[in-house]
Structure 1
Amino acid sequence: MLTSNEVMSRNFTPTSLRRGYDEREVDDFLDQVVETLRYYEQGGRPGPQAPASPTPPAPESLGSRAARWLRGDSKP
């Protein structure tokens, strides 16, 4: 099962021959998301989660990277 923290912190590997991410890696992750959502839709309850340990924020969020990529900006 996935946690919201895992979804928010997930990073995908950029492809080397074209712009974007490894399609299989993204598909596998989305399969996990679908499995988790179906579990909750069928009445499943999340198990107890350990409190999130304080970790430094990621240097750049996935959303920020995607927006930068869509604009065609170069890497920082």
Structure 2
Amino acid sequence: MLTSQDVTNYSFTPTSFRRGYDEREVDDFLDQVVQTLRYYEQGGRPGPQAPTPPQPPAGDGLKDRATRWLRGDAPS
């Protein structure tokens, strides 16, 4: 099962030969999202989870990585 934190932190792998992401990877992730939503729609409840400690903003979100990639910056 996915958590909101899983969805927030998920990072797709950029493709090598064109702009964008691996379509199969995106489809697989969305399949997991659909499976989780169906579970909740049928009355499922999330299990107990350890609290995630707050993380300082890393400035390494998808938008920042995409911007650096489009500029042609070296990967970090």
TM-score by length of 1: 0.78
Query: Which runs of structure 2 are paired with 1:6-21 in the superposition (5 Å)?
Result: 6-21=6-21
Deviation at 1:61, TM superposition (A): 1.9
Using the alignment, how far apart are the partners of 2:72 and 2:9 within structure 1?
Answer: 20
Name the structure 1 match of 2:34. Answer: 34
**Equivalences for 1:1-76 in 2 at 5 Å?**
1-62=1-62, 64-65=63-64, 68=67, 73-75=70-72
Cα distance change, pair 15–44 in 1 and its aligned pair in 2 (3 A): same
With CA pairs under 8 Å and 6+ residues apart, which has the higher RCO, 1 or 2?
1
Deviations 1:15-70 (A, max 9, x none): 000000011111000000000000000100010110103445443222x248849x
Percent identity of the aligned residues?
68
Q: TM-score, normalised by structure 2?
A: 0.78
TM-aligned CA distance change 1:65 to 1:21, over 3 Å: farther
- Unaligned runs of at least 5 residues, structure 2: none
Structure 1: gaps of 5 or more residues: none
* Aligned-partner Cα distance in 1 for 2:65–2:37: 24
CA-based RMSD of the aligned residues comes to: 2.4
User: Structure 1 counterpart of 2:18, which letter?
Assistant: R
